[in-house]
Each structure stands twice: as C-alpha cells, then as structure tokens.
Chain A
Amino acid sequence: MQFAMTSARRHLLPYWFLAPALLIELAIILYPVLQTAWMSLHDYVLFRPNNAPFIALGNFIRAANDPVFWLSLGNSLIWIVGIIAVQFVLGLGTALLLNQSFWWRGVARALVVIPWALPSVIIGLMWTWMYDYNLGVINDVLLRIGLIHEPIAWLARPDTTLPSIMLALVWQGFPFFAVTILAGLQTVSRELLEAAEIDGATRFQRLRLVVLPSIAQVLATVLLLRTIWVANSLDVILVMTGGGPGYASYTLPLYAFLEAYSSMQFGYGAALSLILTVLLLFVVYAYVRRAAAAEIAK
C-alpha cells in the first residue's frame, strides 16, 4: 500500500512541477483564445458592451461575403510567400558568405543583425521617409543614376505599395534567417565536405548535395517559424500606409486590427483573427510535427 502511494506520488510529481507553468499558459493564452472565439459569435461593438447579441456564425458568413476580406486574404498570401521566399534566399546567401573565413567576419556577423534588432515602428518610419515622393533617398538615387526620369510615389500607387512594404520587411527579417542558417552551417560535417571535394564535387554540388541536406531540419524550422511571424505582422504596414492607398496594403491581420480598433467591431475583428489563426494552425501543426520528429531522431 505504502509502495503504491509512493509510486503514484512519484508519477504525479512532474505534473506538480508543470502545474504553475500550465496555469499561466491557461490564463494568458487559452483563456484569451476562448474569449476571442466566444466574442466572434457575437455582434460585439466595444462602445455597446451591454448590447452584444449572439449571432452564431454570422460574423463568419459576413466575412465570406466581404470582398475586403478576400482581398486581404489574397494580399496576405502574396505577403507571406513573397517575404519568406526573398528572406530565405537572402538569408541563405548571407549565411554562406558569413561562414567563409575573412578577417572582419566577427564584425560582419554583428552588423548583419542590426535590422533584426530594430523596432518595427522605427523600420516603418525609416522606410516611409526613404520612399517619400518629394524627399526620399530612393527616388533621389534612382533619379541621379538615370533609372527613372521622375520620382515615383512608391507608397501611394496600388501596384508598388505592397511590394515596397514587403521590401522593408525583407530587410528587417532576413538577418534572422542568416543567423539561424549560419548556426546550422557550423554543424555540417567537415569530413563529408572534404570527401565530396575529393570525389570531384563542384562548389554548387557540395552545397546542394551535402550542405543543404545536412541543415534541412534547421531550414524547415526557420521557414515555419518565420511564416508564422510574417503572417501575423502588421505593425510595419500600419506605420507605413495604414492599409492604403484604398485597400492596396490590407492584409488579414491588419483588417482584423482595423475592424477592432478603428471601427470597434470587436466581434467581427475576433472572427477575422480566428480565421487567420485556423489557417496558421496548419503551419503550426507542421512545425510541431517536425519538432517532434527531430526529437525522436535524437
């Protein structure tokens, strides 16, 4: 009997250790998520707190019939795919360069992190002025080297606005790729590389057949993490254009934010957020599966 009690306690002990962290998780993550889900089923307007009727899936049906929702979703897809692809290529290239031996490598590695370390609002303001039609340095440089003949209103044209903001975010985020991939490159086996070289593999073949497969886990993890972060990011858009001109730079999180914080339609804003969350859950699921698989492989 005594033994059984002790054994049960021993089994329960880890859960007691986990309990404080789990309680905090429940309070600061699960509760707000459930509250958001509940809010999304109501016509909840912040300045009418006593008149929030239950409308079941009304907000989701409204989203399905809302052209701005579909436009924002489309822009979100362009936003995620475009930014992640360019950040990945730039990050990989930078990591390969920084993995070479040169005398100021330490300084270069420190400098490359600067964009990542800057607050998004500062980045938004900085790039807004760089793109400025009248006073911006980008137009000035392009005019001086003769690439354009008159300034371009980068943030006021529907065809250039979203790509211009995406470039700002690419600049901010590629160092994360670079630093993480660089860490992965440090783990690539020297013996394998030397063996491939002896076998006559070219530089590109060594990259494709040795280096990239060796850091595949790292690449997958960093791609998934960045996808989640980029999909959620709205601060730079908010600072640079507020979603304009018109709806040209509306993305789904921005639309949810504006519905909640400008129109104070918290019910509809919650529904839009929930849709985004469900879409991102697929990415999170892929990430968790990969992380679990990596753990088992160890």
Chain B
Amino acid sequence: MERRTFIKLSGATALASTLAVPARAQSATTVRWWYHFDNPQATPADLVAKFEAANPDIKIKAESIPWGGGNDYYTRLFAALIAGNGPDCAMVKLNNQARLLEMQALAPIDDMVAKWDARSDIPDNIWTLTKATDGKQYYLPLQYAVIYLYYRPDLFKAAGVEPPKTFEEFRTAAKALTKDGVFGFGMRGGAGGVDNWGPFVLGGGANFNKGGMVSDAALAANRTYVGFATEGKVVPPSAPTDGFQQIVANFKAGRTAMCIHHVGSANDIVATLGDNVSAVPVPRSADGKGWTLFGDESSAVFSASKNADAAFKWISFLSTAENNAAFVNLTGQLSVTNAGAKLDTSHPARFVEASVASLPIAGVLPDSPKTADFTGKVWPTNMQQALLGQITPDAMMQAFEALFNG
C-alpha cells in the first residue's frame, strides 16, 4: 500500500469512527450524579445497575465526591456549577439550599413530585421541612438522622443515675458521672459541634429570629452549656477542639459517659461496646420544650441540567421504598420512606427508636446563605473562645446575633 493511500484510509477510518460514537451515545441519556458516603468501601453500583436495568435508556454516571466536613463537597459543587460543568443531580443538605437558590442553580421539582406515585410514602413533616422559603420544592428527601444522646449503661449504673430527660437531670447526671478519670459528657467543641450545642441552647430558648440569640432565656441557656466546661468541669479539657472522631473514641474507651450524635455512628459504637451502649432523645427543658437537629439529606436536580426528567427518575428511584432501604444501608442513616423504614434492618432497634422519639422536637437550622458559614466557621471559633474564657458566653451569642440579624 502506498503511503498516500494509507494516510487516506486512516483518515477515513478515524472520521467514520468519530461519527459513529455520537450515534451510539444518543441512544442513552447519561445522568451525572454526585454523592458522598462516609464509608469509602460503600458503593452504589448495585443500585445503579438495578436502575439501568429498569431504564435502559438512561445511564447513571455516579461520581463520589470527598465530603471534607461539607466544605470540600460544596466548594466543588459550586465551582462546577459556576463553570458550567456541574452534575445533573446531587446529594444536598438544607444548610446550603439558600446558597444554591441564590445562585439560581436549583430546578423546582413540584410538577414531577406531583406525578410521582411514591410521594405519599414520605411523611408530610419531612416534605414540610425540606420545602424552600419561596414555597417551592427543590429538594427530594433521601435520608435523615436525628441527633440524640448516647449513654453508657455501665457507667450510669455505677454512678446510680438514670438517663436524663431534662436539662437539670442532665447536669446532675454529668456531675455524678465525672470521677476517676471519666467525664460525664463528651462535648464537641470542634467542627460540627453545633449539633451538640443546639439541643441545649436552641432547646433552651434561643432562636435565629431578630433578638433570638440575646434574649434572657437564650443567654442563660448558653451560659449553662458553656459552664459544663468552664465551671462544672464535666467535659474533657480537650473539648474546644474535639471533633466527631474524638467524642466517639472517648465514649468507646469509657473516658466519657455521654455523647451526642445520630444513628450514623450506632453500628460502629455497638461493634466496640455491644449492649453496653444505648440512646435516648436529647434532654429538654422542664416544661417539655426542646430542640434537636434534623440531619437531612436530599437530592436535587440542577437548573442547568439538560436531562432533568431522567435525573428526577434516578433521584426518585433512590427515594422509593426498598431502594431507599438499600441506600441507607450504605450510608448508615435512616430511610425517609415509611416502607423503607420497615425494610431497614441495618441498625439495632433502640437507636431507631431514639431517633423516632426525637422527631417531635427535631428542627433544621435557618434556610439562610449564612447558615453554612455559621456552622463551619463562626460557631466553632466563638464557641472555642468562650470555652477558653477568651470571650464571655454572652459575647459569643452576640456574635451569632450579629451574623444573622446584624
């Protein structure tokens, strides 16, 4: 074959193959989906395979994105959306809904939800919690976890105290439990510690409305909470920078008798402590009022997506009964569907019961662009300074008031 003929033939072959690829690709819609799982071993491959078998015209490109306390995930998400290279849909949390809405990045899904048969399997209160301030639905609930109180029955028995139901009982129990190198409460003052602070301070009367952080009740509740460290000394001195890993490790090692987290850590703790761990809802005020964090996770379709219908098909598949049960089995959280909750056997019953019993007082942080900054930076720096006595507990609350209402 002559050189010239060879080049011609090669060119023609290359051109033909280039033209042929789009023809094949056009037969299936590809949906890019971003997700984050705490367990790097967990993979949604089975769910993807099941969906693709039922929907041969849709391919799911599942992309695992590092969570990094939320900052990594959302920075990548925002940057990708701004660059025009965002996914079609993704796992999202309420504390970033306002920012995503401000970017006009979310597609409303009201019409699609209205036509979705499995809608009624998700309780109404979860739909209400996930609705945006403009009254539209952008988030499709996916899973949840409610913050509750873990306690060690052996240490409680030794101290002769019962799991606390009220703030006063909590204070008494924490004091009685603090002895012989054990601290009553493993306070989380580092990243994510707003989950620990909320039940005591928001449950004790503070709120995010104007003046809500500096009311007498709010200031008193915060003084009590900070006082657990500065006056009562019922928390480890390392509390200012203790994060999730530290509070769980200390609890498992018997250095603390109580810690606050959700069902996502139940199996890990049970693997170490077996039956020597249980859970109750977080304490409330004497009049029964309280607050705990509804740890939400939803799915959203982005406004820039050209495959919104296919993306909704995928995210609604994940929020449907047995698929949702399989999904939460991967993430360690709880199913948002009634049918899925019955199928989910991945957690010991006592932790699911503590979660369900906490639902009546479960709430979310404000749907504000400032919320993510509050939880990620403003709360930890002010809380830590208050714990170290560098600022007063009241100054800490004034900083929060200034952030939201200044």
Interface residues, chain A, CB within 8 Å of chain B? 46-49, 132-135, 151, 153, 155-158, 161, 241-247, 258, 260-264
Residue of B nearest to A260 (CB): B75
With most chain A CB atoms within 10 A of its CB, the pick from B100, B238, B384 is B238
Given contacts A48-B102, A135-B253, A246-B382, 12 further A-B contacts (CB under 8 A): A48-B103, A133-B237, A153-B236, A155-B241, A161-B241, A242-B241, A242-B380, A244-B190, A245-B240, A262-B376, A264-B78, A264-B373
> For residue A264, which residues in chain B have a CB less than 8 angstroms away from its CB?
75, 78, 99, 372-373
Q: Are B236 and A244 closer than 8 Å at their CB atoms?
A: no
Partner of B71 from A134, A243, A262 at Cβ < 8 Å: A262
Q: In the complex, identify which listed stretch (B115-123, B143-151, B157-165, B385-393) lies at the interface while the others stay far away.
A: B385-393
Q: For the complex, what is the distance from the CA of A151 to the CA of B237, rounded to whole Å?
A: 9
Contact of A246 among B79, B236, B239, B390 (CB under 8 A): B390
Assess whether B103 is in contact with A47, with CB atoms less than 8 Å apart.
yes
Interface residues of B in 215-269 (CB under 8 A from A): 236-242, 246, 249-250, 253, 255
Please tell me if the beta carbons of A258 and B377 are within 8 angstroms of each other in the complex: yes
Q: Knowing A46-B79, A258-B377, A261-B71 are in contact, say whether A244-B240 is a contact too (CB < 8 A).
A: yes
A47 lies within 8 A of B71 (CB)? no
A132→B246 contact, CB < 8 A: yes
Chain B residues in 8 Å Cβ range of A246: 240, 381-382, 384-385, 388, 390
Report how many residues on chain B are interfacial, defined by Cβ distance under 8 Å. 38
Residues of A within 8 A of B241 (CB): 153, 155-156, 161, 241-242, 244-245
Q: How far is the CB of B254 from chain A (nearest CB, A)?
A: 10
Cβ contact within 8 Å between B100 and A135: no
Residue of B nearest to A259 (CB): B377
Interface CB pairs A-B, < 8 A, 9:
A134-B238, A135-B255, A245-B189, A245-B240, A246-B390, A247-B381, A262-B373, A262-B376, A264-B78
Which chain A residue shows the least CB distance to B243?
Answer: A242
Contact between B253 and A134 (Cβ–Cβ < 8 Å)?
yes
A55 to B26, CA, bound (A): 47
Residues of A contacting B249 in the complex (Cβ-Cβ under 8 angstroms): 132, 134-135
How far is A263 from B255 in the complex, measured between Cα atoms in Å? 35
Once A46-B75, A47-B99 are accepted as A-B contacts, the answer to whether A263 and B377 lie under 8 Å apart by CB is yes
Nearest chain-A residue to B253 (Cβ)?
A135
B129: interface (CB < 8 Å): no
